[in-house]
């Protein structure tokens, strides 16, 4: 089998798959990087170094894993597809700072995966995420409350949604969630030609620096996100009507309208124009 120090390209990926009798799974969103410059660029821009423990999800055939192994203090790579686990384990068997785990990241306890890595105290996520788990995976990383940053390659459309500004069509509830917990930025785009098999869409690499302080206390966040979900649940409604549909048992329409006005907005405003601070102000008033 191919060793980790070799560069991945279209020919080596094809040979590796053929020699193991494996075909890429569409249902698992498997598209393998064949441009070795991309993993190098991802790791460089992630800011990962030897002081870091890294969680990688969906290593596939190890293109990004190899770069992470060279840069990081320790790498835990979680692969769902059982077919790739023995290949990866053989690739990295001589690298003591790389661990391959078979499992579903959405079902594993993330804190348990990294709890013993005290020699490299700074924790990062760095991954080429399967498109079909992007939102729940990022949510799980944030809710683990243990990472300094999340650097992931995802579908460009989703990346633009995460980094969208208030008032744009891409701006939504997940935008608010991501920006409440982090400071996201799109680092660069990756064309379909950089993968095998080629996806139908362009990808983007997003880095999310996790915030160390939040606008609200923990016990106030539940109301904040309830308001956010209500505001975007029916985008065509005014914010007042959208909120009243959710809070009618506890708040009168007049009270909601007064809170919206006190937050500095016209009562006919729609939720998609409010920023994080605006939602925080409104949640405290309600």
Q: What is the CATH number of the domain that holds 74?
A: 3.40.50.150
Whether residues 78 and 175 fall in one domain: yes
Residue 36: is it exposed, middle or buried by C-beta count within 10 angstroms (0-12/13-18/19+)? middle
Whether residues 148 and 239 fall in one domain: no
Which of 183, 210, 237 marks a domain boundary? Answer: 210
The C-alpha atoms of residue 193 and residue 237 are separated, in whole angstroms, by 41
- By DSSP bridging, strand 182-190 and strand 122-128 are unpaired
What DSSP state is assigned to residue 131? G
User: Which pLDDT tens digit goes with each residue over 221-258?
Assistant: 999 999 999 999 988 899 999 999 999 999 999 999 99
Strand partners, 250: none
Whether residues 30 and 117 fall in one domain: yes
The C-alpha atoms of residue 24 and residue 187 are separated, in whole angstroms, by 27
Q: What's residue 40's pLDDT?
A: 96
Range of the domain at 269: 218-285
Q: How many CA atoms lie within 13 A of 165 on its CB side?
A: 0
Q: What is the CATH number of the domain that holds 238?
A: 1.10.8.100
Q: What's residue 3's pLDDT?
A: 45
Q: Is residue 3 part of a domain?
A: no
The C-alpha atoms of residue 179 and residue 277 are separated, in whole angstroms, by 11
Which of 210, 234, 267 marks a domain boundary? Answer: 210
Which of 210, 231, 252 marks a domain boundary? Answer: 210
Whether residues 121 and 68 fall in one domain: yes
CB atoms < 10 A from the CB of 23, how many? 10
| H-only helix segments in the chain | 10-19, 37-46, 63-71, 85-91, 110-114, 134-143, 156-162, 173-181, 218-233, 239-247, 253-262, 276-285
The C-alpha atoms of residue 16 and residue 44 are separated, in whole angstroms, by 26
Tokens of 205: 């690499």
What DSSP state is assigned to residue 47? T
Whether residues 22 and 84 fall in one domain: yes
Residue entry with tokens 């924790």: 123
Residue 246: is it exposed, middle or buried by C-beta count within 10 angstroms (0-12/13-18/19+)? middle
Whether residues 234 and 157 fall in one domain: no
Handedness of CA 41, 46, 50, 55 (dihedral sign): negative
Q: Is residue 1 part of a domain?
A: no
Q: What's residue 31's pLDDT?
A: 84
Q: Is residue 257 part of a domain?
A: yes
**How far is residue 155 CA from its own chain's centroid?**
11
- Secondary structure (3-state) at 149: strand
Whether residues 159 and 277 fall in one domain: no
Name the band, by pLDDT with cuts 50, 70 and 90, for residue 32.
confident
The C-alpha atoms of residue 29 and residue 25 are separated, in whole angstroms, by 6
Tokens of 152: 């992931």
Whether residues 98 and 167 fall in one domain: yes
Q: Is residue 2 part of a domain?
A: no
Q: What's residue 10's pLDDT?
A: 67
What DSSP state is assigned to residue 234? T
For residue 188, report the phi and psi dihedrals to the nearest 5 degrees.
Answer: -170, 165
Which whole number is the average pLDDT over 265-275?
95
CB atoms < 10 A from the CB of 112, how many? 8
Whether residues 33 and 169 fall in one domain: yes
Whether residues 199 and 250 fall in one domain: no
**Considering the chain, what percentage of its residues have pLDDT values greater than 90?**
79
Whether residues 198 and 224 fall in one domain: no
Number of domains in the chain: 2
Q: Is residue 77 part of a domain?
A: yes
Least confident of 6-10, 131-135, 161-165, 206-210: 6-10
- By DSSP bridging, strand 203-210 and strand 149-155 are antiparallel
CB atoms < 10 A from the CB of 11, how many? 10
Whether residues 53 and 160 fall in one domain: yes
Q: Is residue 148 part of a domain?
A: yes
> Whole-number mean pLDDT of the chain?
92
């Amino acid at each position: 089998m191919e060793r980790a120090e070799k560069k991945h390209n279209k020919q080596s990926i094809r040979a590796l798959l053929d020699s193991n009798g494996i075909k890429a799974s569409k249902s698992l969103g498997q598209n393998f990087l064949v441009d070795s410059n991309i993993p190098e660029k991802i790791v460089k821009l992630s800011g990962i170094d030897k002081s870091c423990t890294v969680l990688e999800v969906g290593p596939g055939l190890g293109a990004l894993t190899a770069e992470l192994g060279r840069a990081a203090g320790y790498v835990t790579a979680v692969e769902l597809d059982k077919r790739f686990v023995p290949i990866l384990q053989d690739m990295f068997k001589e690298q003591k700072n790389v661990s391959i785990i078979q499992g579903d990241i959405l079902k594993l306890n993330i804190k348990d995966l990294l709890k013993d890595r005290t020699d490299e105290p700074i924790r990062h996520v760095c991954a080429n995420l399967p498109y079909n788990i992007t939102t729940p995976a990022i949510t799980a990383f944030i809710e683990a409350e243990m990472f300094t940053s999340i650097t992931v390659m995802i579908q460009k459309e989703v990346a633009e949604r995460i980094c969208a500004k208030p008032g744009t069509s891409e701006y939504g509830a997940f935008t608010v969630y991501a920006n409440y917990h982090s400071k996201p930025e799109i680092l660069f785009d990756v064309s379909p030609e950089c993968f095998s098999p080629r996806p139908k869409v362009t990808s983007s690499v997003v880095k999310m620096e996790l915030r160390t302080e939040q606008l609200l206390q923990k016990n106030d966040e539940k109301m904040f996100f309830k308001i956010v979900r209500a505001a975007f649940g029916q985008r065509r409604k005014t914010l007042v009507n959208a909120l009243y549909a959710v809070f009618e048992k506890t708040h009168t329409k007049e009270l909601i309208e007064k809170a919206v006005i006190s937050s500095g907005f016209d009562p006919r405003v729609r939720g998609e124009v409010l920023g994080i601070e605006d939602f925080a102000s409104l949640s405290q008033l309600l």
